[in-house]
Structure 1
Amino acid sequence: MQEISSSRRGTVIYLLVWLFLGIALGGVISLASDAPLANAMLFAIPMNLLYAYAAGYSAYYLCRAYPLGSGRTAATALVLTVAAVVSGFLWLVLGRSWNGACLMLDVAWAGIAFNAQLSALIVGLGILLYGFAAAVHYLVIEFVRAKGAEQRELESLLMAQEAELRMLRTQIDPHFLFNSLNSISALTSQDPKAARRMTLELASFFRQSLGMEAHKKVTLDEELRLIRHFLAIEQVRFGARLLVEEQVDEQAAACLVPPMIIQPLVENAVKHGICNMPEGGTIRVTARRDGSILHIRVDNPVDLDMASVRSDGHGIGLTNVRQRLAGVYKHEASIHWGRIDNSFGVDIAMPAQTGEEGE
């Protein structure tokens, strides 16, 4: 009963059903006892609405106490049968009392003539209506239980997905940290000032990245600021060998992206591109918004003779980005990469979302 009465719509539907049954009972009484229709309706409708709550609450608590599938089928049937019979006779007593009150009004439109046939009809109908109430409550209880189980399963899946995304994100920081510490270690003996500058840049980088960690998505502009910080660290190491170009339109910069989704691509561009080329090269980051799609591309030069380029996509960075995109956007996002001549490029396409449009 609580599930039904918990919403206004459920309560209205429940009462309308019982009102219809009351009208039907009034019509049957009028035909069976030759009572005026108004008298029969005045007797049947209030009785039926009262029985709707009395039988409804009784059946609800019994359905709760004896749930389906509990392995007590015989006990459940016996209890509900006894309750239905008792309710039927109590409804008869209530009906006689209500009819007596109507007869006391001594008006033509109130009161009906009770007989044995009408008494049997009320008791029998009371038993059937009690069974109807029990069946309705069993259906509602099972529906609510199934819906609750589905909701809990969905919450579990979301929690598992969030844990997986968190794990994927935490893979990035140690990977980048180890590379940076190796670089600092190499610079310590060659250029102590550069090593100190790189250490300070590294501290600032992680301070900013920790601030982004609290958000599921950040603007592309924030992501690019973090990348610029990362490239400043690498430029301490590579100097003039590392050049950077950005082509990001204003609409694209305002779009939301998962934190540190581009940084692994830029890190790969440095590690597998610039690092293997004595003459260095230029890393290009481009982004544009095309309607509801955000396109991001990272290009870097590669040495054609070097076999270390992960064009097959088995590197940590590309695999991580692909899994995170799939976790956040499902099939709505894609990532493609490939090498053309002496250039390696990674293309990302994802839904273009802004703070105003909602995540």
Structure 2
Amino acid sequence: MLEISSTRRGLVIYLLVWLFLGCALGGVISVASDTPLANAMLFAIPLNLVYAFAAGYSAYYLCRAYPLGGHRPGQIALVLTFAAVVSGFLWLVIGNLWNGLCLLLGTRWSGIEITPHLSMLIVALGVLLYGFAAALHYLVIEFVRAKNAEQRELESLLMAQEAELRMLRTQIDPHFLFNSLNSISALTSQDPKAARRMTLELASFFRQSLGMEAHKKVTLGEEMILIRHFLAIEQVRFGERLRVEEVMGEGAAECLVPPMIIQPLVENAVKHGICNMPEGGTVRITARRAGSILHIGVANPVDEDMASIRSEGHGIGLTNVRQRLSGAYKHEAGIHWGRKDNSFGVDITMPAQTSEEGE
């Protein structure tokens, strides 16, 4: 009863059903006992509405006390049958009291003759309506229980997904930090200015990355600031061997992306591409918006003697990005990679969302 009456719509529907049943009972009384219709309706409708709440609350608490699956079916049926019979007789008593009050009014629209047959009808109908109320409450209770279980399961999945995304976002290759610190240590005696510049860039990189951790989505422009810090650090290490080409299409920088979704790809491009080439090469980062789709690409040269780098999806960085895209966008995003001639490229497609459009 509490679940049904918790919303105005549920309460209205519940009362309308009982109002219809009251009208039906008034019609039966009028036809069966040759009673004026107005008298029958004045007797049946208020009586039915009172029984709606009395039987409703009684059935609700009994259904709560004897949940399906919590007791033996025979025990539940016996308890509900006893309660229904008692309620039916109590309904008859209330009906007689209400009819007596109507007769005291002394108008031609008040009161009916309650015959033994009508008394039996009221008791039998009271038992049936109590059973109807009990069945309705069992349905509502099971529906609410299933809905709550589904909601708890969804919340658990969301929490697990959030935990997984946080874990994936913190999987920055430790080799990057170790290599940077080693380079800073080596440059301290050889080129103090370069060591200082690299230290500042490293601090800016981690400050930017920590600031992005608090957000589920950041703009591509903010992501590119982080990547520029990363590449500035690597350029101190590799010097002229590392060249960068950045192509941003119109409207791409305003699109929202998961934080640090491109950084692992750029890191792979440097570690597995530029690092293995004595002459170095160019890391090319592209982004363009095509309607509701954002396309992001990262490409780098590879040594022709090397096998397809991570082409089978065993790279931690590529797997990380694929899992994060799946967690954030499901089937709406995708990542593809492969080697073509002497270049290895990674292409990402995802919904082109902006802060104005919402997530």
TM-score, normalized by the shorter chain, greater than 0.5 = yes
Asked if the contact 2:301–2:343 (Cα under 8 Å) also holds between the matched residues in 1, the reply is yes
1:186–1:308 CA distance, 2 compared to 1 (3 A)? farther
Whole-angstrom distance in 1 between the partners of 2:349 and 2:164: 21
* 3-state secondary structure, aligned to 1:355: coil
Asked if the contact 2:309–2:339 (Cα under 8 Å) also holds between the matched residues in 1, the reply is no
Q: Post-superposition, which runs of at least 4 consecutive aligned residues in structure 1 deviate over 6 A?
A: none
Show the counterpart of 2:33.
33
Q: Read off the aligned partner of 1:166 and give its amino acid letter.
A: R
Asked if the contact 1:168–1:320 (Cα under 8 Å) also holds between the matched residues in 2, the reply is yes
Alignment of 1:60-71 (within 5 A): 60-71=60-71
* 3-state secondary structure, aligned to 1:252: coil
Q: CA deviation at 1:260?
A: 0.4
Q: Read off the aligned partner of 1:199 and give its amino acid letter.
A: T
Show the counterpart of 2:24.
24
Show the counterpart of 1:206.
206
Whole-angstrom distance in 2 between the partners of 1:232 and 1:138: 66
Show the counterpart of 1:246.
246
Show the counterpart of 1:356.
356
Question: Larger deviation: 138-147 or 311-320?
Answer: 311-320
Show the counterpart of 2:115.
115
Whole-angstrom distance in 1 between the partners of 2:175 and 2:260: 13
Whole-angstrom distance in 2 between the partners of 1:31 and 1:244: 93
Gaps of at least 5 residues in structure 1 are none
Q: CA deviation at 1:174?
A: 3.1
* 3-state secondary structure, aligned to 1:171: coil
Show the counterpart of 2:259.
259
Alignment of 1:27-176 (within 5 A): 27-172=27-172, 174-176=174-176
Q: CA deviation at 1:192?
A: 4.2
Whole-angstrom distance in 2 between the partners of 1:309 and 1:103: 96
Q: Read off the aligned partner of 1:25 and give its amino acid letter.
A: L
CA deviation profile, 1:198-243 (whole Å, cap 9, x unmatched):
2221111101100000001100000001100111101111112211
Asked if the contact 1:276–1:306 (Cα under 8 Å) also holds between the matched residues in 2, the reply is no
* 3-state secondary structure, aligned to 1:251: coil
Whole-angstrom distance in 2 between the partners of 1:247 and 1:277: 23
Show the counterpart of 2:325.
325
Whole-angstrom distance in 2 between the partners of 1:338 and 1:104: 93
Q: CA deviation at 1:73?
A: 2.7
Asked if the contact 1:66–1:72 (Cα under 8 Å) also holds between the matched residues in 2, the reply is no
Q: Read off the aligned partner of 1:52 and give its amino acid letter.
A: A
Question: Larger deviation: 74-83 or 138-147?
Answer: 74-83
Asked if the contact 2:308–2:338 (Cα under 8 Å) also holds between the matched residues in 1, the reply is no
Whole-angstrom distance in 1 between the partners of 2:329 and 2:46: 56
Whole-angstrom distance in 1 between the partners of 2:313 and 2:95: 80
1:307–1:192 CA distance, 2 compared to 1 (3 A)? farther
Asked if the contact 1:243–1:281 (Cα under 8 Å) also holds between the matched residues in 2, the reply is yes
TM-score, normalising length from structure 1?
0.96
Q: Read off the aligned partner of 2:257 and give its amino acid letter.
A: V
CA deviation profile, 1:99-138 (whole Å, cap 9, x unmatched):
1111112111211111111111111111111111111001
Whole-angstrom distance in 1 between the partners of 2:327 and 2:186: 37
Q: Read off the aligned partner of 2:171 and give its amino acid letter.
A: Q
Whole-angstrom distance in 2 between the partners of 1:3 and 1:46: 23
Whole-angstrom distance in 2 between the partners of 1:108 and 1:259: 80
Asked if the contact 1:99–1:111 (Cα under 8 Å) also holds between the matched residues in 2, the reply is yes
How many residue pairs match? The answer is: 359
Whole-angstrom distance in 1 between the partners of 2:186 and 2:72: 75
Whole-angstrom distance in 2 between the partners of 1:156 and 1:115: 60
Question: Larger deviation: 70-79 or 156-165?
Answer: 70-79
Asked if the contact 1:272–1:308 (Cα under 8 Å) also holds between the matched residues in 2, the reply is no
The answer to whether structure 1 residue 9 and structure 2 residue 9 are counterparts is yes
Show the counterpart of 1:285.
285
Q: CA deviation at 1:79?
A: 1.9
Whole-angstrom distance in 2 between the partners of 1:341 and 1:283: 15
- Identical residues among aligned pairs (%): 84
Q: Read off the aligned partner of 1:354 and give its amino acid letter.
A: T
Whole-angstrom distance in 2 between the partners of 1:35 and 1:179: 99
Whole-angstrom distance in 1 between the partners of 2:328 and 2:174: 22
Whole-angstrom distance in 2 between the partners of 1:183 and 1:71: 72
* 3-state secondary structure, aligned to 1:125: helix
Asked if the contact 2:55–2:130 (Cα under 8 Å) also holds between the matched residues in 1, the reply is yes
Q: Read off the aligned partner of 1:17 and give its amino acid letter.
A: V
